[in-house]
Amino acid sequence: MRPGSWAASPFGNFFRFYTGSDDDLLLNRSVHRSFADLAALNEIQDHYQTTGRLVSPLVTIHTTGDPIIPYWHEQIYALKTLLGGSFLKRHINIRINRYGHCNFKAPEVLAGFAIMLFMANRQSPLALETALTDAASRARFRSIVREYGALP
């Protein structure tokens, strides 16, 4: 791509009507419009789509109130893993009922890692618990790993 030139984009806004401004009609008359580039769409379809067929354990953590990547993306991926034969065998999503993008706390992230290790080689998550310095964090950690089947 030459400096100053527009890159092919898989996103377009030609049919999009923007709302929420003080003057939505003026905004929509003024905004630059473009169509999604077909070659870019084909590139994504051919080389950047997930299959849901996992060969290794995958633990995802997602906040339900994520304003950037909505939680329903997680649900679509879970369906993809179900259709690909990996659901529950290799994919677990830890749902965090909280607002914010990646707004996780240390016990939640550590629990996700511990669950992944348990899925991969049945390693006990309790060895990782010692990294948490306070009783409330350790309790939250144990609650999550128990909820997702890594502790009896």
Rounded Cα gap, residues 91 and 96, in angstroms:
16
Specify whether the CB–CB gap between 101 and 62 falls below 8 A.
Answer: no
Rounded Cα gap, residues 35 and 17, in angstroms:
14
Distance of alpha carbon 99 from its chain centroid, rounded?
14
Domain locations in the chain as residue ranges:
10-49, 58-147
Rounded Cα gap, residues 137 and 132, in angstroms:
6
Give rounded-to-5 percent helix, strand, coil for the chain.
40, 10, 45
> pLDDT 10s per residue in the chain (152 long)?
344 445 678 889 999 999 999 999 999 999 999 999 999 899 888 988 888 999 999 999 999 999 999 999 999 999 999 999 887 789 999 999 999 999 999 999 999 999 999 999 998 999 899 999 999 999 999 999 999 989 87
Instruction: Specify the DSSP element, H or E, that contains 91.
Output: strand 91-99
